[in-house]
């Protein structure tokens, strides 16, 4: 069941997103409007140290109108490989570099209206370099035991979707592998 796009029009073109209005024909022949937010995609990183602590970043998020605790992540630059983006974002936001990278797959952040695909990575064998956040990022890094981070999800202290998906995925992978 696919929808046929009859007409597309950009209503907004910004630095991070574009807003497109599509007129589409549904399989039942009805014609409806679809608002689509175009996003280049992102990479999100669960950085795990040798003591099973994860690096989380606390920062204010305008959409939530509050500070959130999240895994490091960032938007892909045009044509950028997601692994390269993950490497860059981990260092920028936390100051750490990783020797081991595992690709944990991808997910759509909100497919009902947004094209954003997030690639998820597990970063291990961490060494500290120095953080270099972008000028609009005020980030505080927190080191939290993975087990406690899972409890924080259960208590509602961590409410960011990519962080919940990443932490739960890593807990499942590590639990299954016995690590």
Task: Write the pLDDT tens digit of every residue in 75-92.
Answer: 999 999 999 999 999 999
Active-site choice (9, 134, 135, 154): 135
Concerning whether 135 is annotated as a catalytic residue, the answer is: yes
How far, in Å, CA of 149 to CA of 53, rounded? 9
H/E segment holding residue 58: strand 53-61
pTM given for the model: 0.91
pLDDT tens-digit readout, 48-81: 999 999 999 999 999 999 999 999 999 999 999 9
Domain ranges of the chain: 4-38, 41-177
CATH number assigned to the domain with residue range 41-177, chosen from the 4 options 3.40.50.620, 3.30.160.110, 3.90.79.10, 3.40.50.2300: 3.90.79.10
């Amino acid at each position: 069941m696919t929808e046929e796009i009859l007409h597309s029009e950009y209503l907004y073109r910004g630095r991070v997103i574009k807003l497109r209005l599509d007129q589409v024909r549904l399989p039942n022949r009805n014609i409806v409007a679809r608002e689509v937010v175009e996003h280049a995609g992102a990479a999100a990183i669960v950085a795990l140290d040798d003591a099973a602590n994860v690096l989380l970043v606390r920062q204010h998020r305008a959409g939530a109108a509050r500070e959130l605790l999240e895994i490091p992540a960032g938007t892909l630059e045009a044509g950028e490989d997601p692994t390269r983006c993950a490497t860059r974002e981990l260092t920028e936001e936390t100051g750490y570099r990783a020797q081991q990278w595992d690709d944990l797959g991808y997910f759509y952040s909100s497919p009902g209206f947004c094209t954003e695909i997030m690639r998820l990575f597990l970063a291990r064998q961490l060494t500290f370099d120095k953080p270099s956040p972008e000028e609009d990022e005020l980030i505080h890094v927190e080191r939290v035991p993975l087990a406690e981070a899972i409890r924080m999800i259960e208590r509602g202290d961590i409410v960011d979707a990519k962080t919940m998906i990443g932490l739960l995925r890593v807990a499942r992978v590590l639990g299954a592998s016995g690590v």
